[in-house]
Amino acid sequence: MQRDLFEEEHLLFQETLREFMAREVAPHHDQWEKDGIVPREVWKKAGEIGMFGFGVGEEYGGSGITDFRYNSVITEEIIRAGASGLGWGLHNDVVAPYLTELTNEEQKQRWLPGFVSGELISAIAMTEPGAGSDLQGVRTTAIREGDHYVLNGQKTFITNGINSDLVVVVAKTDPSAGARGTTLLVVERGMEGFERGRNLEKVGLKAQDTAELFFDNVRVPVENRLGENEGEGFFQLMNNLPQERLSIAVVAVAAAEAVLEMTLEYCRNRQAFGRNIGKFQNTRFVLAELATEVEIARHYVDKCILALNARQLSVVDAAKAKWWTTELQVKVIDRCLQLHGGYGYMMEYPVAKAWLDSRVQTIYGGTTEIMKEIIGRSLDI
């Protein structure tokens, strides 16, 4: 079925991005994988071509267009370029709504221009060594003392953890109040007592700086709180998680499509027993199944993107998109690797890197099991 998500302006933007990725990103990504980090300069270059903060108002340097189709174009081009280490999806799709929708005028002026230009790199720190799926178990505290919060605790697995200048930190301002005691604070680079730990060594996403963060009596001004009142943090997180999960689903489908395409090409050319391996019935059946499922996933995710634009994407819809497409991505890439034979296990073949990069997709942003819990609860059983 024909895909009809994008209009002419999205396709024009796609062309610009494709050229940018080919010039500024793809040739350098191997080196960034070795370095374990993406240089800040490329963030600024991406900012110059309008890559960040589409929904940010023009008065703060953005385009003022709230249309997740642009986010999707960006993600798809990143995947196409094999640039899995860029934390741009996290910046654009996950953190952006916190900084655009929960900030007051003073905060917008302070943070948004840098967010758009790529000079202020963002992160969000929910997960702790003892609390991942169960966010209510967060132990980081932020206790009010006059016009500051005193922040203490530890976070782990934080995307953009080393590069980040602005970190949205989930903390308990009232540790005895459960979810209602949770507040979001923006911690800025250089605040005393804010330290970064290890840049963690991962199975995949090698160029991504995923790190530990430590807060030791960090005095965070009250002006850095997101939202008018303390205790709104859990609700704010629940509100924004559907967009985060959709963003992961967009990656999943784009990655599955890309690997399927390269595998078709491989099967057209690789010879065994005197013919192309694509001529074997098994190969055709495997590819037929994967092509069918990926196309179905594509249409569901595109529909979710439009629902998000209309502010109608429910938590349950996003959970369905997240678990099903990411499990599909893992399956598609694994089967495609098999069709590459031994070459699929060699890092010089992109399917090998895609296989390593894909594994985390069913884990972060809420695991498959948690997504099924969310959906199951909605079924009235």
Q: Looking at beta carbons, which residue is closest to ligand FAD?
A: 132
Active site residue 244: yes
| Three-class DSSP labels, 177-231 | CHHHHEEEEEEECCCCCEEEEEECCCCCCCCCCEEEEEEEEEEEEHHHECCCCCC
Q: How far is the CB of 208 from ligand FAD (least distance, A)?
A: 7
Cα-only R_g, the chain: 21
Tell me if 193 sits within 8 A of 217, measured CB to CB: yes
Taking the least distance from each CB to ligand FAD, the nearer of 21 and 90 is: 90
**Minimum distance between the CB of residue 155 and ligand FAD, rounded to whole angstroms?**
7
- Backbone φ and ψ for 199, nearest 5 degrees, come out as -85, 110
Can you tell me whether residue 285 is helix, strand or coil? helix
Place of tokens 């884990």: 363
CB of 57 to ligand FAD, least distance (A): 25
Q: CB of 63: closest distance to ligand FAD in angstroms? A: 25
- Outline where the chain has alpha helix (H): 8-20, 29-35, 40-48, 68-80, 88-89, 96-101, 105-117, 233-269, 281-309, 315-339, 350-358, 368-377
| CA 252 to chain centroid | 11
Of 137 and 341, the one with the shorter C-beta distance to ligand FAD is 137
Dist CA 231 CA 322 (whole Å): 28
Nearest CB to ligand FAD, comparing residues 99 and 158: 158
Q: Toward ligand FAD, which CB reaches closer, 21 or 237? A: 237
Question: CB of residue 242 vs ligand FAD: minimum separation in angstroms?
Answer: 15
Q: Which of 76, 128, 230, 244 is the catalytic position?
A: 244
To 5 degrees, how large is the angle CA 306–CA 309–CA 314? Answer: 80
Q: Enumerate binding residues for ligand FAD (CB under 6 A).
A: 90, 123-127, 132-133, 157-159, 202, 205, 210, 360, 363-367, 369-370, 373
Tell me the residue type at 107.
Q
Give the CA angle between residues 273, 275, 278 to the nearest 5°.
110
Residue among 13 and 111 whose Cβ is closer to ligand FAD: 111
- Closest approach of ligand FAD to the CB of residue 204, in Å: 8
Residue (122 or 283) nearer to ligand FAD, CB: 122
CB 219 within 8 A of CB 193: yes
Residues annotated catalytic, as ranges = 244
